[in-house]
A = this chain, B = another copy of it.
Amino acid sequence: MDVIEQLKAMNAKRILLQIPDGLKPSAFRLFNMFSKDFNVIISSQGFYGACDIGNREIYDNVDCIVQFGHSEIPNIKYPKPVIFIEYRNDVIELDESIFYDLKKYNTIGLLSSIQYYDEMLYVSDILKRLGIKTVIGKTDKRMKYPGQVLGCNFSAVHSSALDVDAFLVVSTGMFHAIGAQLASDKDVYLLDLNERRIKNIKNDVDLFIRRRYLRISRALDARKFCVLMDTKIGQYRRRLAEHIYRELLSLGKDAILVTADNVNPYDIENLRCDAVVFTGCPRVSLDDEEKFSVPVLTPQEFKSLFIKRSNKYIMDEIVSVD
């Protein structure tokens, strides 16, 4: 059913459109299209995906939120009806030879984020033609589709780890492939759709871990910690934050509980702390690390550094929220 029909069926009058930055140049066209039938507001703000359906201030004033680009996160209790219009890239046809390196494996676990999901199904057919079995792993309640990954969820890796000999991540950037490798002891390959080649990412992960430890080890001598929780509906882990806060106190550290929406380096600097443990989206700690003047640790990093000293780097994954 198309989205206009869905909105009419729920008798929506006022709607909020959330449009990813890449589609924002179409904002006037989309607004005018929906305005024929509804009272429309567009959010000017960027957003993280289905974990972030915008600022609650607006919810009372709309009947439904329409979010472009992402797939629902089923275990979030959305306070308003949300229609997710998933965006899937067109399938790029690929030469079979790209995959010859994988013929040494019997079974490959396939993974992708939502925009490359159709490409992943297409790749599955190629691999089968090459005589390789494929597994599209089960995901937990935070994910909508089998084999789907988010930067904060690799349940598809965990569920299929026993059944596969290696993983192939269908994507463009490194981030999801690194997450998959950190979640598994098996070989992980990235099918980079920009470069149209597959690549074993072991070395990249080693580099990632070394760089990351270099940064987070600066937190070992920290005295004053901010435990920061993001208020976004699908990133809010207050209980985890309070748990970490109590652990810090029992370690003899000075700690405060801090809230933010879209944390920024300027606000952190004002608080005059030596380190941050951030319980929201792990990409803030990992991708934005150079923006912050103090180390910003994921909860898993905090744990491995202070609680249970471990040489195995564990990715922070969000399984559920408070």
A44–B294 Cα gap in the complex (Å)? 15
A272 contacts partner chain B, Cβ-Cβ < 8 Å: yes
What 1/0 flags go to A7-31 for Cβ under 8 Å of B? 0000000001000010011011001
Residues on B with C-beta less than 8 A from A55 are 55-57, 231, 259, 261
Is the CB–CB distance between A272 and B16 below 8 Å? no
Total identical chains: 2
Q: Is the interface of A mostly helix, strand, loop or mixed?
A: mixed
A260 within 8 Å of B (CB atoms):
yes
Instruction: Please measure, in the bound complex, the distance between the C-alpha atom of A157 and the C-alpha atom of B242, giving whole angstroms.
Output: 49
Min Cβ gap A322→B in Å is 9
Given A24-B270, A28-B272, A270-B21, verify A260-B43 contact (CB < 8 Å).
yes
Cross-chain contact A272 with B25 (CB below 8 angstroms)? yes
Q: Given A56-B57, A57-B56, verify A41-B258 contact (CB < 8 Å).
A: yes
Q: Is A268 an interface residue (CB 8 A)?
A: yes
Distance to closest chain B CB from A207 (angstroms): 30
Report chain B residues within 8 Å CB of A46: 267
Residues 215-240 of A, flagged 1 when their CB comes within 8 A of B and 0 if not, give 00000000010101001110010100
**Residues of chain B within 8 A of A21, CB atoms compared:** 270
Of B24, B45, B233, B259, the contact of A260 (CB 8 Å cutoff): B45
Chain B residues with CB under 8 Å of A238's CB are: 61
Interface size classification for chain A: 35 or more
User: Within 8 Å of chain B (Cβ to Cβ): is A126?
Assistant: no
Which residues of B sit under 8 angstroms from A41, Cβ to Cβ?
Answer: 257-259
Question: Once the chains are docked, how many angstroms separate the CA of A231 from the CA of B32?
Answer: 22
Chain B residues within 8 Å of A28, by CB: 224, 254, 256, 271-273
Inter-chain contact B57/A257, CB cutoff 8 Å: no
Q: Which of B40, B44, B45, B54 contacts A226 (CB 8 A)?
A: B44
Q: How far is the CB of A225 from chain B (nearest CB, A)?
A: 10
| Docked complex Cα distance between A248 and B103 (Å) | 63
A174 contacts B by Cβ under 8 Å: no
A85 at the interface (CB under 8 A from B): no
Partner among B25, B257, B261 whose Cβ is within 8 Å of the Cβ of A45: B261
By a CB distance below 8 angstroms, the chain B residues around A57 are: 55-56, 231-233, 236, 261
Residue A161 lies at the interface, judged by CB distance under 8 Å to chain B: no
Q: Contacts of A31 on B, CB cut-off 8 Å?
A: 256-257
Complex-state Cα separation, A224 to B42, whole angstroms: 14
**Are the C-beta atoms of B267 and A27 separated by less than 8 Å?**
no
Kindly state the separation between the CA atoms of A318 and B70 in the bound complex, as whole angstroms. Answer: 38
Measured in the bound complex, the distance between the Cα atoms of B58 and A151 in whole Å is 25
Separation of A263 and B16 alpha carbons in the complex (Å): 17
Q: Specify the chain B residue showing the minimal Cβ separation from A31.
A: B256
